[in-house]
Chains A and B, each alone.
Chain A
């Protein structure tokens, strides 16, 4: 098995074992209802995590994701509830704004050679601040379209409900996987994460690819914001605080190397599901504080970083022994 697949396999195995153990304790967790809710409850996180996967594979990081989700929610709510836009028009505007926002971050990162960490940190403050300037309060959305969308569900045998936003997340994951693994753009993303100098010498359009990566991440974050507003029927400037960190956790747990160059979009899906499983377990248990979720995520994250370190250090071939020639 390719070594880059091993962390992913480990995640999948851990997910299956954890799920089996949960089901053994709470048989109710093995139902289409729980599985359907898995998808719905984590849809916004999953969509944002797809964008984050591309960013991390390219060797960067995007800390602005949570703030963009919050900003988009507020923008969409204000456009619809205060200014009377149709939701679809509001969505288009929000996605366009996010695309420009991501492009600006990508351009700064590439042309000013500033680490993505700093640029997206600035982006995070800008987006979060911008959202709070528009409004300090939660803006409810009461629109026919929102009700229609929330009623668009596929009923599963066993009482489960596949919501449209859950399906949207699955679709984003599938498209993301195609983009990462089957297109030239995808190979450029991996090239940047592998060795940016080589990538440049090999003819990878580094500037264009960098801009596209951060545009993709911001647009997907905005899409996640739209999904979040559909999920909560409101826009709130302090929504989704810290979601970028959950997204990063899901990406790393899903087998993507934090230093870039290796990773899988579908691995992130398993990562998101594993995080969802932990939350669901705690809800089923009922006695545990929800902060246990954070502790479990912390432990998992730590485990996976150690695991990757071991796999990639043990079989690093280019740097065999100190005696090279």
Chain B
């Protein structure tokens, strides 16, 4: 429909990798002055579409139109000349250079062939003022928070392209206030008439800022609709093609006589990290950890696992006092830890799925009991199937998998060691809805099988769904322990906000 209403349009684009159709005749139209959310599960074709729109991939069929004129985009820089700019999830700027240079690299104002720093910094200051960002343009970019870096990235993209802005999961590593700040910027740009494509895994954010939504599934266009006519369930249904069941409340019976005690932490803490806390964890129990940004949730996990060893307090395992001074101690006692930052601390990107799964088990067995290839394949195959890991082959590098599948690989890695106690730090962060449901199901299954778990999550609905007990962190202190009826989002929020004396001890 070439009625000129679209700034950027994809008309029945196709993309084929080998014999896999990644995009099957997808139409996509972007209007000026709108925020258009692009949603879809893993492998739906979201990132393929984005890569085609930014020129990183060439379509195998169909055409791309900018202002109704067919164009061919050779690469992201070429797309920039058509006014298409992109901001990626990981800030793709230079932390070692100044803010001003990051804004103008490649376009620095010159005088007599040399970079005119005074003009560049003045220009930077003016530019950033539009975004209500008042920082020293000469300061090193890396010294600023991720949110500020994101805004600088947006400023650069808008400044260089200025018609279409593609935001590829820009909020993945921001906290609530920072997200709000970023949204202010996006609203400002929308008011200036920019066309914005917004990709995220957070439905809340989609509803907070988007005007229209396009849903892809298995490489096909499902629908493009105005958002105000849709409910959350509608969107999820469009994405999955089915309803997913998220029970609102916990279905765990708070038994008065729980199973035997597995772990007992007494006065456990680490200076400048977590205040001493007492916590008892029983077998077959999921302890949820809730709290705001910087409340010490991750720190609790790290000292339990010995990644940052505790400097006070004691821990006993099965009633026997033990010391956990390093991670190998923890693993020896049957601990497992899936860290929050998958890419940096979890996966070994260049190793295969198989190797990533067996590595913790191999570490536990030690140097002299090498698992041969058949054993490795058997273990990896078993977990690959049980966890529904979607990889073309167990020998493909794990970095090529989607976030959700990577998370399943890390989970499998620890499950292969048959742990007694598993720590999961934000297991569902940044993964799609389908993989999310899979992981929640796995947590429930493991609990029923008698494994003890500590699960950290900022999604309250989710913590509530699987926890037998919830501890609440505030200001690096464990301030409340909730059980039974108290396990609901309302009480948690109250516990985070109130003082500890009101909470259930």
Contacts and interface: CB of A to CB of B under 8 A. Distances in A.
A190 B94 contact: yes
Given A191-B105, A198-B92, A325 B97 contact: no
A184 B142 contact: no
Contacts of A3: 140
Given A183-B114, A187-B97, A201 B76 contact: yes
Q: For chain A, which range describes its interface: under 10, 10 to 19, 20 to 34, or 35 or more residues?
A: 20 to 34
Interface stretch (B1-9, B28-36, B295-303): B295-303
A261 interface: yes
Interface string A306-325: 00000000011110011111
A188 B115 CA distance: 12
A322 B96 contact: no
Contacts of A203: 77, 80, 105-106
B97 A190 contact: yes
B294 interface: yes
B146 interface: yes
Nearest to A257: B96
B409 to A, nearest CB: 21
Contacts of A315: 143
Interface SS of B by simple majority:
loop
A194 B106 contact: no
Given A178-B114, A183-B113, A323 B293 contact: yes
B47 interface: no
B175 A325 contact: yes
A323 B297 CA distance: 7
Contacts of A207: none
A322 B298 contact: yes
B343 to A, nearest CB: 12
Contact of A198 (B93, B114, B143, B295): B93
Q: For chain B, which range describes its interface: under 10, 10 to 19, 20 to 34, or 35 or more residues?
A: 35 or more
A194 B105 contact: no
Contacts of A184: 106, 108, 110, 115
B232 interface: no
Contact of A323 (B80, B142, B174, B294): B294
Contacts of A182: 114-115
B67 interface: no
B302 A187 contact: no
A288 B95 CA distance: 46
B92 A197 contact: yes
B332 interface: no
Contacts of B173: 324-325
A204 B340 contact: no
A324 B173 CA distance: 7
11 contacts: A178-B114, A182-B114, A183-B115, A184-B108, A186-B115, A187-B105, A191-B94, A201-B88, A202-B93, A202-B105, A325-B175
Closest 9 CB pairs of A and B: A261-B96, A194-B96, A194-B94, A323-B298, A198-B92, A182-B114, A325-B175, A203-B106, A322-B298
Interface of B: 76-77, 80, 86, 88, 92-97, 101-102, 105-106, 108, 110, 113-115, 140, 142-146, 149, 156, 173-175, 293-299, 302, 308, 340-341, 458
